[in-house]
Amino acid sequence: MKIIKIILALAAMGISAYGLITKDFSYGPVSSLLLGIFFALIAIEEFKTKGKNSWAMFFMPVSLIIIVMALFSF
């Protein structure tokens, strides 16, 4: 799970950096989708370790909103 989170974070940062450097923002939805999946993984991990009274209650709705908005922007 840790390796997947690192790969998702690096991919999202790489795509975002590419967009900022080249001024080509056509890959923005992909970056947002990766960020939403990253937040969902964080929420799942928080649910497993700390239960309902944790940051998972914040990360899960945020990740769902980000994923839905990224899918609508394709």
The answer to whether residues 26 and 71 touch, using CB atoms and an 8 Å cutoff, is: no
Tens digit of pLDDT for each residue in 20-39?
Answer: 999 999 999 999 999 999 99
Domain boundaries, the chain: 1-72
3-class secondary structure per residue, the chain? CHHHHHHHHHHHHHHHHHHHHHCCHHHHHHHHHHHHHHHHHHHHHHHHHHCCCCCHHHHHHHHHHHHHHHHHCC
Q: What pLDDT does 35 receive?
A: 96
> Which pLDDT belongs to residue 1?
85
The predicted-structure confidence for 1-24, as pLDDT tens digits, reads as follows 899 999 999 999 999 999 999 999
Q: With 90 as the cut, is the pLDDT of residue 55 above it?
A: no
